[in-house]
Amino acid sequence: MKKVLLLLLALSFAVFGALPERRVMLELFTSTTCPPCVAGNASLTSIISNSGKYVAAVRYHMYWPNPGNDPFYHYNTAENGARRSNYGCNSVPMLFIDGVQSNITQLAVDSRHNVPSPFSMKAYRSYDNFTAYSADQGSGMFVVEIKNEDSKAYSFSLFGALVENDVAYTGTNGDPMHHQVMIDMIPYAYGLKVDIEPGETKSIGYDYNVDDTVKLLNTLLEPTGEVHIVDAKKCELVFWCQDKTTKEIYQSAKVAVEGSKPLFVEELEVSDASGDGIISKDEEAYVHAKIRNGSSAKMSKVHMLVEVDNTGILVVKGSYEIPEIPANGSVTISGKEIVIKGGSAYDGKEFNLKCYAGSGSTDASLGWSTKKLNSGISETGTGAFAPAFPSVARAGSSIKLAGFGGIAGECRITMFDASGRLVEGLYAGRASGLNELTIPSVPGGLYFIRVETSAGKQTYKVVLLD
């Protein structure tokens, strides 16, 4: 399974109320060669059946006792072993409830569920089949959204796992069916460190593939020639926030791999406060987008999230909830619900803004779009600014300008190429005396001329001829 980290963003606001309901995280160490594990697995399966709405589960397979040919252990020895080392597990079956070793009982699970969590936690995902290769496997993207609802800061590791249910395989203990089998850890078995302040929301996303094939082994640990192909229809993505020192798990979330509905982020635009299309230091900008529900069922509690790939750009308001989007309908976000800002350390370089929409409905669908900003190509400008500029000119020539005579103060003109790279400063001086401008001798093509005066700012598209 391929895993690629896509985003990590933060939004701070200090509003605290009742703490969220806890989804209890259950981790069972088991084996297909362990006779007592048959009863242990059955007990946990019964608990999950009774408590499915407030539990998440992962089962790690071990290689003991003999003959040690559990195929699910040998498929991923490193990550099964890492979770074993995390807890110091030395026998099976062994259950950990939110990081604490416990008996496999409904009472133990319910007691932990009654303890509120400091975090609210949601998972969204998209998924598409590899139809050219296998109808049972595919790829997608997911985003985990974590909000600290408590009045104190936390430091923890985010863990994730791809698990498979209803796996038919009979080992030496005679157990014919297995659930929540850990196939792969996400992004890796040692987790991703996260620091979160009071009231802060963090969203973390990945690309993923479901493309695993497990080889079955005989009692001599030799391949039998038979394989188990992991079926995406039976898979879940499970996530949990765990303190690496105390092992306490604060909150968990889960989502089925399949079942997503089409959710789209369209018409993504950003308007900056000055109106020139370029975000500067200490300048706010507002994100606008149309979130479209492409399914025949309504979607509720759709969360709009943004992230940027330049640390100098601050996410001031990075999350907004749309209460409902009707079937085959859309909602346009066009105000100041989502806000970014050029920070004091912003280097002026172009950056990518990614906008995600995740449905809080049971489908937990995910859509996204990306836009490049500060590339120097925006043609918007302020209304009070009216100088004329030719749309076509010849490189190395002088062009006549009009409309600058009535503008007081200084004027600065710069030129960018089609990729947004600064080519040259063309003018810096009094605006009132500007009536002609020399274009540098550059290769022909599309360029952008940015004009800044006391009357406003404007960026013009110009085609230069050789």
Residue 275 within any structural domain of the chain: yes
Q: Which range, of 239-243, 252-256, 462-466, averages the lowest pLDDT? A: 462-466
Q: Which range, of 298-302, 387-391, 449-453, averages the lowest pLDDT? A: 387-391
Residue where a domain terminates, one of 204, 239, 256: 256
Q: Dihedral, CA atoms, 275, 279, 284, 285, nearest 10 degrees?
A: 70
Q: Dihedral, CA atoms, 405, 411, 414, 418, nearest 10 degrees?
A: -60
Contact present, 75 and 63 (Cβ < 8 Å): no
Is the full-model pTM beyond 0.85?
no
Look at residue 6 and tell me whether its pLDDT is greater than 50: no
Same domain, 251 and 278: no
What's the pLDDT score for residue 73? Answer: 97
Look at residue 388 and tell me whether its pLDDT is greater than 80: no
Same domain, 63 and 172: yes
Same domain, 273 and 229: no
Q: Which range, of 224-238, 336-350, 381-395, 441-455, averages the lowest pLDDT? A: 381-395
Q: Look up the CATH number of the domain holding residue 25.
A: 2.60.40.10
Residue where a domain terminates, one of 256, 275, 301: 256
Residue where a domain terminates, one of 222, 256, 290: 256
Same domain, 199 and 103: yes
Same domain, 87 and 192: yes
- Beta bridge partner(s), residue 27: 58, 96
Domain tally, the chain: 3
Q: Look up the CATH number of the domain holding residue 438.
A: 2.60.40.1930
Full domain range(s) for residue 63: 3-256
Contact present, 316 and 284 (Cβ < 8 Å): yes
Determine the average pLDDT of the residues in 44-71: 96
| Mean residue pLDDT across the chain | 87
User: Cα–Cα distance between 12 and 316 in angstroms, integer?
Assistant: 8
What's the pLDDT score for residue 401? Answer: 78
Look at residue 376 and tell me whether its pLDDT is greater than 50: no
Same domain, 199 and 305: no
Band (pLDDT 50/70/90 cuts) for residue 250 is very high
User: Cα–Cα distance between 354 and 374 in angstroms, integer?
Assistant: 14
Same domain, 274 and 422: no
**Residues 128-143: pLDDT tens digits?**
887 655 668 998 889 9
Residue 379 within any structural domain of the chain: no
**Residues 395-453: pLDDT tens digits?**
888 887 777 776 777 888 888 887 667 788 888 888 877 888 888 888 888 888 888 77
Look at residue 378 and tell me whether its pLDDT is greater than 60: no
